Structure 1
Amino acid sequence: MTTDDLWPAPHVSERLDVTVDLPGSKSLTNRSLVLAAVADGPSVVRRALRSRDTLLMAAALTALGSEVDASGPDWTVRPGVLDRDAAVDCGLAGTVMRFVPPIAGLSTGVVSFDGDPHMRQRPIGEILTALRGLGVDVRDDGRGALPFAIAGTGTVRGGRVQIDASASSQFVSALLLAGATYEQGVDVVHEGKPVPSLPHIEMTVAALRRHGVEVDDSDANRWQVAPGVVRAVDDLIEPDLSNAGPFLALAAATGSSVTVRDWPAATTQAGDALREILAAFGCTIERTTDGLRVQGPDRLAGVDVDLHDVGELTPVVAALAALADGPSVLRGVAHIRHHETDRLRALATELGGLGADVTETDDGLALRPATLRGGVFHTYADHRMAHAAVVVGAAVPGVLVEDVATTAKTFPDFAGAWSAVTTPSGRG
């Protein structure tokens, strides 16, 4: 690591009153792209997020035979079927690693999958086992991890499959997104500890229904997708509410006012839980004609919050808890040990390195009031860790963020956008 890898997080010494425009949702963009690739005609994904994860998805679907024109703000997708061997680069995108293999079985070629080195540690075995049970030829030499290959035969039998999705809700979403294209559809039954991040499955179900797919989710831990046509639909992508996390947390950490423009009135995005979480810290939340406005308090209260369904928000929430005047407990997120990095250990290490009094628990973090200081905050190639770093840096001078560019995974030029709202010259 050199000094060129360290980005000085802007310290906010005055109260702000700013409005932020966010790029589109990664989760919605990639679900829309997958469904467009198996639809019955061309579709347009309007205001698609342009980031590393979504460009990897576009490239993966193109490798499988579709045409994805990502040259403008609205992406056109023309479905196609792969009739040759191909390779898919998953990068660090869990949605690519998990959502694309179920549709690769519809090809008539051998599709190989690999990604960045860390991706070989992320769980995928449950999906590969499920795909075998549904009639897909999976070749992974028994690893249950990247790299692996799918040998397509043009059709997939489908049917009932039992999985343990307690490590990731994406295991369920991946099978549901492809289910309508299978001869028997899919009937996915979860057996195990509670499924994390349920709002993401609800997002998948809502996306399928928009495309005319019949989904029965009336039974707990069971999702049935009927075989049938995936209708071509033009989707309009909402702002990414998880990426709103650091900006709204900026209000909380500095006693400022931050408005995120175009906050949807109703949404399946996990980031919508920020309204309730920030209120627990003592913030004032209101909807305005522009969007969602958060006014930070003079002093942050501690919180006791179960983040099981919204685990991706944990890094930003932990950053605020480290700045709070009272003790906090964050629980229900053991599964985020298997995200881009072991987020619980990483947060305990990096926040502790800046003086936070933080302890790992089996399923979360416990934090007690402490005086924080500047220093290097490592990101572990994890965009959410960078979000935590800049929130602390807004309240504590001298925080240096290692590899802030990792935020390009879901937010191009995040550092520029952050500087624009936190520094007088940026806002000018």
Structure 2
Amino acid sequence: MYKLKLIVRYLLKQRITHFAVLTVALCVFIVVVVMTVMSGLVGQFKQKNHDFVGDCVVGTKSLVGFPYYEELMADLERLDGIEAVSPVVKNYALLRPQYDREQYVELLGLDPVRHSRVTNFAQTLGYHADDPAKAFVPVYEPNALGCVLGIDLVLWRDARSQYTHDASPRRAAFSLTCFPLNARGAPAMAGTTIVSNQQFYYSDNSHSGIARVDGSTVYIPLEQAQSLCMAGQHKRVSAVHIKFRPGVDLRAGVEQVRGLWGQFKQKRVDAPDGRLLETVTVESWKEYRRAFIAPMEKEETLMSVMFGFVGVTAVFIVFVVFYMIVSHKTKDIGVLKSVGASSASVMGLFSGFAFVVGLLGSVAGIAGGWLFLARINRIEEWLYQRFGFQLWDRTIYAIGEIPHDVQMHTLAVIALFAIVACLIGALVPACNAARLRPVETLHGGRM
């Protein structure tokens, strides 16, 4: 009981302990806010990439592609764990608007209905989200070839990350220029030109939420992409995207597809153009998009390391505070030891004091961080209206609302580390207090 009374007394009467609690609270507040926002951004980015490609991809990085994909899709659809599959042609093209400058874009050829069963393609469409079958049908020219443009290629994003949509796609024609390759990887066209051109009309836009995709991708029908980019006797694609049924473990599903692909490739090793199958890999969505996801994860890890140094700073501050407290309370320690308190009890007293400081600081920091995160978007909106300040320029970064959903396990881990940091910071002063002898302390001795 005397330990609790002394802890309360030190908390109430020693102003320097208020400084320790405030320091811990500030550190916890900063870590809670920054880690919540950063983790939210990384989580959103991963989810958008997952939605963009599906669960698994059987594909090649070669622009030549691979044949026999229709037979592969039939085999895949017979597996119990597969819900849907979608063939995709991926290539690069020169986009020439009718009244604007030309630019290089990534070209994706796909079946909009099939692809919407595997990915969130339908939900990204601005005008045909309810009927993706009409995604490539220009409303002003129903018999013409349509194309879907990444939203940043056709619409302007304002400072609040909002786009101004017309009631229907405006009339616009685009010329796509590609270099078609045959099955050997050589130019398929000879003579006066080695490129193929085709005109498309703007039929819709796609807002995937991935800045790199929305600013550089054009979607066209699968057959037209094959005609523009791949020539030869056998039809080819760059990838087959796969969606697993609900409840199927990602790793188990990918391994099942890898097993099927190994058998499929072995049966066609001597078939015409069968050598192209050697370049094909089976990857989960995380592996397929790792070039984009890895930098974000590294930034999150670096941020965690940086805030680890903040924790080290808190340890030193707590050490200084407790060293000063022990230095000024040597007579109290002497009295306790003279009435029978053991060294372990004295050490337990100051360790308990450190625990309470860490607990109070954690609770205050978490409460402050939670309240701040609940209002962070309103605060940013006020700052923008008043001073024109934004954490991220929405005209550059594809960020809408700042993430503010707090994860309970994250708060628990942060609080635990804060308390541990306080205990570590108080360890040396507590040991010194435990080693003091009553005779020295009662005669005014100092540590």
Same fold (TM over 0.5): no
Tell me which of the two structures has the higher relative contact order, counting C-alpha pairs closer than 8 angstroms and 6 or more residues apart. Answer: 2
Higher strand share: 1
Higher helix fraction (1 or 2): 2
| TM-score w.r.t. length of structure 1 | 0.26
